[in-house]
A = this chain, B = another copy of it.
């Protein structure tokens, strides 16, 4: 629990690493297991320096690790690095419809506006977000209370 706390900057950095189609493609390939750069290059048809750039972004975000073997570099996904992201998403999903509402002034019909809260909510609840500095909101003394 304690170590699962991630500041938003770290979280944002990891999400950013996922915010590019090329990097998603890389991860998609790595899903199947470790892969060397040259294979990724062949599969993606991307320029070498470009691929190297994206691998660095993923690496610096902690989403993948590399291992040198002779003249090759092998990359692999770090599952644990994905978990805080999953937790954050779980929180965003699970929280909807549960809270007391912002101002409780007008809401009401809003609940049915978007896809009704699925009962199939994830088992894993968020460990993040809930304990982040979410100031105010509680007493609904905002502008439109």
Chain A 55-83 interface residues, beta-carbon cutoff 8 Å to B: 65, 67, 69, 72, 74, 76-80, 82-83
- Whether A142 contacts B42 by the Cβ 8 Å rule is yes
In the complex, what residues of B have CB within 8 A of residue A134's CB? 25, 28-29, 32, 43
Closest to A23 in B: B12
- Whether B114 contacts A65 by the Cβ 8 Å rule is yes
Chain A 95-124 interface residues, beta-carbon cutoff 8 Å to B: 95-103, 106-107, 110, 113-115, 117-118, 122-124
Instruction: List the number of copies, as a whole number.
Output: 2
In the complex, what residues of B have CB within 8 A of residue A110's CB? 34, 67, 74, 76
- Whether B136 contacts A36 by the Cβ 8 Å rule is no
Q: Please judge, given known A-B contacts A79-B114, A89-B85, whether A21 and B38 are in contact too, CB under 8 Å.
A: no
Told that A11-B24, A39-B102 touch, could you supply 14 new A-B pairs with CB distance under 8 A? A11-B21, A12-B20, A18-B88, A28-B92, A31-B129, A39-B143, A72-B106, A74-B106, A77-B93, A77-B114, A78-B114, A79-B114, A86-B86, A89-B89
Q: Which 3 A-B pairs have the closest CB atoms?
A: A32-B99, A31-B95, A33-B99
